[in-house]
Amino acid sequence: MLILLILKSLPLCLSAGLKVHVPDSPVVALFGTDMVLNCSFSGVNSFNQSQLSVFWQLADTQQSVHSYSEGTSLFSDQLALGNASLLLRSVRVADEGTYTCFVRVEAYDKASIAMQVAAPYSKPLVTWEADNPKPGDVVELTCLAFGGYPEADVLWQDGSGNNLTENVTVSPVANEQGLFTIQSVLTVILEPSNTYSCRLTNPLLGDEGNASVTITAQGSSFPPVALWVTVGLAVCLLVLLVALAAVCHRKIKESCEEIRAVRTNQKHREEKEATPLIISSQR
């Protein structure tokens, strides 16, 4: 991007030690808004306007932009005060880069300023798909946000605040304006109940919001293998108890029959001993 302005009529200043000044730190411009890149010059004395030239260049592309027709302009009425700032209208992602301000008043000087473009993301949304989830199931949670710039950082946490980001895949996709849609997918093994949160951070704008979802898994809390082992042990124990009961029943029955037989024999003996002995005599 190149903007060139040569002034020919106003009596301004003649250089006696021209110095161009711009901010030392990078500046951040919000996508779609107007942005002023500050540039000033000093160390000049009275001179003719024909001796002054000011232009800006986007060093990253060397692309030319001519005057006001493509969304840029200088503050012409303030050049006499040493203001060579550039106005960018409706900032785009493509406008991001390092700009150099050139000033010549017989002598020549320049200075560069970095401009970063930022756009806020939409509020994150967490979704998941699972029918009748059970503990131990593998489930994918999706966190979605769109319309932001630059690419955001995504942090997943569980209800205890543990970082789950190592199980995450992130897919940033840029649209024709250069703005990103961020889709982050977290793979988890479900617990009986847990909360999962997705936090989105724009590197230039800071924390932009978070979303969370609580999943309560239904059904047995045992994994399938442990469930079958438990059922098998229970069946074995039941069979053992039935067998033990049968043995005890048989033993008790045999004991009762023995006692009954002993009592019967004893009764027969007592009856036999009680029968009177009859002796007949002949005279």
Where do the domains of the chain lie? 2-118, 125-216
Q: Furthest-apart CA pair in the chain: how many Å?
A: 191
CA distance 144 to 125: 5
CATH hierarchy code of domain 125-216: 2.60.40.10
Res 283: pLDDT: 40
CATH hierarchy code of domain 2-118: 2.60.40.10
Q: How confident is the model at residue 157 (pLDDT cuts 50, 70, 90)?
A: very high
Phi, psi of 138 (to 5 degrees): -95, 125
Residue type for 119, please? A
CA distance 203 to 153: 7
pTM listed for this prediction: 0.66
- pLDDT, one tens digit per residue, over 179-215 is 999 999 999 888 888 899 999 999 999 888 889 988 8
Res 72: pLDDT: 67
**H or E, element range at 230:** helix 224-274
> One fold for both 2-118 and 125-216?
yes
Res 78: pLDDT: 84
